[in-house]
Structure 1
Amino acid sequence: MAPQADDILQSSLPGLWKYPTYKKQPVKYAEIWMECKKIDDNTDGLWRVHDGFYDFTEWVYKHPGGSDWLSITKGSDITEAFEVHHVTKTAEYLLKQFFVRPATEPRNSPYTFMDDGFYHTLKRKAQPILAQLPPGPSAQSKLCSDLLLAAFLLLSTVANATYNFKLGVLAGFILNFLVVSAHNFFHMKDNFRMYYFDLSFLTSREWRISHALSHHLYTNSLLDLELTFFEPLLQWVPYRTKSLCVRYGSWLYSFALYFIFFYISIVSRLYLTVQGKLKPSLRKEDLIPFIPLFVMYAYSGATFINTFIMWCWIVLIASFFFSLNGFNAAHHHPENFHDGDAPRADCDWGICQVDAVKDRTEVNNSKFLVLVTFGDHCLHHLFPTIDHWHLHHLYPVFYETCKEFGITYKSGTVLDLLKGQFLQLAKNEPNRNPPGK
């Protein structure tokens, strides 16, 4: 049974005044999430930051991070994105020249960014450390991603030439690593490596919305599109109306969804394109997923039919490993906050991020695994534009700030997180005590 708006509290988070409009849509996808957020934010076609309206029209194509971030979000409240994507004070100084008028209504967001709060304190402590690091993606991350791309194309071609499905499994596993490493790059300013992500049938542009602007900024709240994307089949929110089939049957059929996740993405886009709901409907990046098919066919000597079958097999395997990794990376554990649970009185954005994350100890011990398995997840949420290879430098000030504010940073094993996601799927009673109690 699918949860309805009147089955649950509008949101357990104070400050999220409206039940998100996108959740009422029969098909949930990145563009509709953004369009519905604009309706809920009601900014008269401007950009809202905290309690002011701004006009960045002349700045869109001058924006150092690329035009997408501003062109996509025009007409919405970008407070969280502005705070989180700009670690230094430079953007704050520039902001004043674009001011139009003050806002008269409260933000439809539960989060705060007080100057003496957790997140601003952590940012101030992190600034001198980040100033000593090279800007942008690290040489190590770029090299790893490029080598993964070469290995994927080589293994795929050899698997196709020999029609060896075991090699195809290995190629799919490498594609999964490549796609996750590319996620590191689409959080940053425009760069060609972010398009490695598109080799999967997922698209970097859509994930800049569903992942960077939705999941990262409103983690485990009703505004998190990734939390609700698979509803009613997978229900991470502790709805009291969950049926036994959904609570426990999902332990089995979730694995089937993992295998076809990439295919769901391409089929959904084709359906939405035919319906005229994607604008623009076709982009040059839509050709990227077909590059491996062309390479495999051109250099293996195999027939096109065999090549197509092997390509589909490799994508199927990559989809499984990517989904298994992604859905068990950090967020879905009964110890983590999910909308519906009792919230803290302090809704500092950074604290809410820590409450929604549980890191994996084995992964965080390797910079390579951090890059290819969504590692150092809590720090990545707090500083998403910082290259994964550099995140470990921030642990000392992160631990110090957690201690200063009495915040508990949670970690567990890979097995603990894997078991935790099934326990969260079965959970239909919210946590009655706020995090830390």
Structure 2
Amino acid sequence: MDFNGRTFWKHPTGKGLKVKVPVAGESLPQGPQNAPHNPIALNQYHVSPSFPIVPPSTLECLRTKIRSFLGGQGPRSSPLSASKMGKTPSSSYSTSALLPPSTKMSSGVSFQTQGRHWRIGRTWYDFSTFDHPGGSEILYLARDRFSDSTYAFESHHMDQEKARKIIKKYAVGEELQKELERLNPTPAPKLTKPGDFYYDLRLRVLVMFREKSSKAGNSRGKKVNVGPTPLCLNLFYASFLVWVFAVYNTLYVNPSVVSAVFQGVAGAVLGAFGHNWIHQPKYKFYALLSLDTIGFSSTGWYREHILQHHMYTNTPLDNHFRGTDPFLITDPTVPRNFFQKYVTPILNPVILTFGLWGNYGFHLGEVLKGNEPVSIGKLFLPTLVYLFYSTSGVYGLGLFWLNTATTSIYYFTMALMNHNSENTLNVKTRNEAKDWGEAQISSCADWSIQGKFLPSIIYLWLNYHCVHHLFPLTDFSHHRDIQGILMETCRDHGVEYVAGEFWTIYKEMVESFSSPRSLFMEINCYNGS
């Protein structure tokens, strides 16, 4: 796109809304084609703000590189933090503290970043001196890689009353608020309020956890436990040992097709645990043991899965939205060619055999380009490839490929079912969602919702996916407890909730690959704006 102005964005099909990019210093006319409500154009297609972009200083670039090498962790305090200025964040500001928004890539999608401050519910905050209980890394990733922090704040703090009281004192002053709004014209969702679907659902679930805590002999006023149950932890330890045994068995004891397939199944179960652990800071090392060992990246998932896929599910800002292009098309708004309509949907199991390698290769490319930090986890997969080749030659490589193919088919089939059923691709329903929680209900598919924790292992615990998206910090061993509250709240608020049968949803997924369900429609990326 030409950032000197006079450039327009068009729908990939050649149809759709056009958005004019203003020249520096030029105001944006508020006509029907230029109203700044189009989140797709404003974010994915780099709409330039009406002021010249000032590149960061050499020192700032160096700081960014250092933070990237350390895994994206930001500084504990900024050079212009309130403590060093001798003032509270809201009292005053220096113009040098402002950082014009820049564009950052996150797994193939571009976002206009928030500068030196955080935007939550249309209010700007300075958390540079805040000791975040969940760690500083996730705090700075939310600011430095994405355009808004509202959804991340709402979905990761069940006790909103307490969380909002804490952050209130970090709000910047009125003058700085206005200047930051001018510098950041991207869509800004509002915080939910009492009476909204997601606000009420969150409160009901919090009450449930407090009651469970009280029955366990703890004070109702203390922090509730949403972490793994003892059964969940013990099952993880057993699953990891089974995977280690499976690798050893295929390498040195019985290098056969059956052994390789068994290793692949064990790897898929381990990956399911990694999907669970990546959301819980306390178990981040477990995520590395579960994801990096089988070829995924826990560092990549920590950003793209938590702050991108979960926040912008089934929109162009979701890194999964075009993850299988050009073979399996999941965008419901674009037409399919002959090959995509009649051939690849039927061959989806064959295509998915390459899923793990595609995931590894894409992330490795981002690391080499400097977009992602280097991690020791990137060495695990090539090490296993070397071991299989050194023990059994080309035959060993074939066995290892069969193992990764099994893991890929098993895991990615379940994951694609979660977001490609008929209900999840109804763009009209999603656009009408009044808040982020309602949008998640419209973007996730559930099945076997009465299943207990242990039997749900066959679905890799992805069958309670709406609950998982709405409460990402909550361990999947609690999902069944929340399911009834979710359905009751949907009924009370008139929110349509659809749960299906496994094979019905699988069939709908294959059909969605073949046929667009919301052709030429525009997707609202920021529900509640």
TM-score, scaled to structure 1: 0.84
Query: Which of 341, 360, 370 is residue 266 of structure 1 equivalent to?
Result: 360
1:337 and 1:324, CA in 2 relative to 1: closer, same or farther beyond 3 A?
closer
1:319 aligns with 2:423: no
1:130 aligns with 209
1:204 aligns with 2:298: yes
Given that 2:226 and 2:473 are in contact with CA atoms closer than 8 Å, whether structure 1 keeps it comes out as no
Opposite residue 353 of structure 1, the aligned amino acid is Q
Q: Give 1:58 shift.
A: 3.0
Alpha-carbon distance in 2 for matches of 1:243, 1:148 = 42
Greater RCO (Cα-Cα under 8 Å, separation 6 or more):
1
Opposite residue 405 of structure 1, the aligned amino acid is H
Given that 1:172 and 1:315 are in contact with CA atoms closer than 8 Å, whether structure 2 keeps it comes out as yes
Alpha-carbon distance in 2 for matches of 1:85, 1:269 = 25
Correspondences of 1:4-403 after superposition (within 5 Å): 4=12, 6-8=14-16, 15-19=37-41, 21-22=43-44, 32-33=105-106, 38-39=111-112, 43-59=114-130, 62-75=131-144, 76-88=147-159, 89-101=161-173, 102=177, 104=181, 108=187, 113-131=192-210, 132-133=212-213, 134-160=225-251, 161-191=253-283, 192-195=285-288, 196-274=290-368, 276-280=369-373, 282-289=374-381, 302-303=391-392, 307-328=396-417, 330-339=418-427, 341=428, 343=430, 345-361=432-448, 364-370=450-456, 372-403=460-491
2:494 aligns with 406
Further displaced range: 95-104 or 372-381? 95-104
Q: Unpaired segments of 5 or more residues in structure 1?
A: 25-29
Residues 3-49 of structure 1: per-residue CA shift (max 9 Å, x gap): 717444589xx95434265478xxxxx9722796541xx53332111
Further displaced range: 312-321 or 180-189? 312-321
Query: Which of 400, 415, 418 is residue 503 of structure 2 equivalent to?
Result: 415
Alpha-carbon distance in 1 for matches of 2:513, 2:359 = 22
Structure of greater Rg: 2
Alpha-carbon distance in 1 for matches of 2:348, 2:275 = 23
Given that 2:334 and 2:516 are in contact with CA atoms closer than 8 Å, whether structure 1 keeps it comes out as yes
Q: Residue 397 of structure 1: SS of its match in structure 2? A: helix
1:27 aligns with none
Opposite residue 207 of structure 1, the aligned amino acid is W
Q: Residue 473 of structure 2: SS of its match in structure 1? A: coil
Alpha-carbon distance in 2 for matches of 1:183, 1:265 = 14
1:252 and 1:235, CA in 2 relative to 1: closer, same or farther beyond 3 A?
same
Instruction: Say what the alpha-carbon RMSD is for the aligned residues.
Output: 3.2
Task: Give percent identity, aligned residues only.
Answer: 20
Alpha-carbon distance in 1 for matches of 2:190, 2:18 = 16
Alpha-carbon distance in 1 for matches of 2:190, 2:336 = 28
Opposite residue 200 of structure 1, the aligned amino acid is I
Q: Give 1:367 shift.
A: 0.8
Given that 1:5 and 1:19 are in contact with CA atoms closer than 8 Å, whether structure 2 keeps it comes out as no
Q: Unpaired segments of 5 or more residues in structure 2?
A: 1-9, 20-35, 47-71, 73-103, 214-224, 524-529
1:8 and 1:322, CA in 2 relative to 1: closer, same or farther beyond 3 A?
farther
TM-score, scaled to structure 2: 0.70
Please identify which structure carries the higher helix content.
Answer: 1
Alpha-carbon distance in 1 for matches of 2:157, 2:386 = 40
2:87 aligns with none
Alpha-carbon distance in 2 for matches of 1:151, 1:9 = 53
Further displaced range: 405-414 or 287-296? 287-296
